[in-house]
Amino acid sequence: MTMRFDGRVAVVTGAGGGLGRQHALALAARGAKVVVNDLGGTLDGQGGTPLAAQAVVDEIRAAGGVAIANGASVTNAQAVQDMMNEAIASWGRVDILVNNAGILRDKSFSKMQLDDFRLVMEVHLMGAVNCCKAVWEAMRARNYGRIVMTTSSSGLYGNFGQANYGAAKMALVGLMQTLSIEGAKNNIRVNCLAPTAATRMTENLMPEAVLKLLQPESVTPGLLALVAEDAPTRAILCAGAGAFERAHITLTEGIFVGLPTDAAEQVAARFDALSQREGETVPQSGAAQGTVEIAKASAALTSAV
């Protein structure tokens, strides 16, 4: 059965080009009413013009879809709230939020200015926080919401020259983990998408032949699956070149050391043992770590009696 979004209202940030544009076009083509948000700034976050967002809206309308443009900066909490209010005033609801807006200010950490670190965090992390906060209560009231954070392999696994970007992108995973727990009772499903795509952010980083494989539209099917009626929740979906994988944050079974005088030496000496991945789990909440550790300590006390 074809996935449809008729009657749904979606807000896509950073949708004036690249991935966001493809997401907005695809949602609209499948029946969603779309708020196309884009500041219209440069790759490093300078300036701003509403032309990029309006161009995508024009594309959607030309194809028979419904969309409005919005030029708010996701770093401006009041402007973001106004954007959500406009969507609700126009169409009565916001069902889908795609946090896609972002900038790059890449440099090795030794050369990176703290202002560049802060701004990247502000756009990626706080931009997503602002958008989620602005729509959260409306989603709770309707007992329906689908939210996607755009994370990155640079956050999940690291990448030279992207300490700021990687930190922000991994922070979004933490935000997703908690919001998915808090939103569960109100049918708000929250996921992460880690794309590999040829966009303004990657065009100077990869050979032309590789870029041809990494078209943004090859990522969007994953996005659609994450915001569908029967979407999963708490998933980290990786996507690129038409391939899809799932990333997990896992916990090994580990070891018990206790508090002998040589505890530090034992941890160092047995690091390979505590790193063994056989039997590792994907915890369902942060409390799982403590549960595992207390169980080990209790078992050691019992055996010592």
Catalytic residue among 56, 165, 222, 235: 165
Tell me the β-bridge partners of 36. 12, 69
Beta-bridge partners for 9: 33
- CA dist., res. 229 & res. 109, Å (int): 42
**What gap in Å lies between CA 305 and CA 303, rounded to an integer?**
6
Q: Are 144 and 95 in contact (CB under 8 A)?
A: yes
Q: Identify whether 165 is a catalytic site residue.
A: yes
Question: Cα torsion for 202, 207, 210, 211, to the nearest 10°?
Answer: 40
Look up residue 150 and give its two tokens.
């755009």
Nearest one of 229, 150, 233 to 196, comparing CA atoms: 150
CB 172 within 8 A of CB 120: no
Asked whether 138 and 94 are in contact (CB, 8 A), the reply is yes
205 phi-psi bin (left φ>0, alpha ψ -120 to 50, beta other): alpha
Q: Which of 65, 96, 94 is nearest to 82 (CA)?
A: 94
The two structure tokens encoding residue 211: 């870029």
The residues carrying an active-site annotation are 165
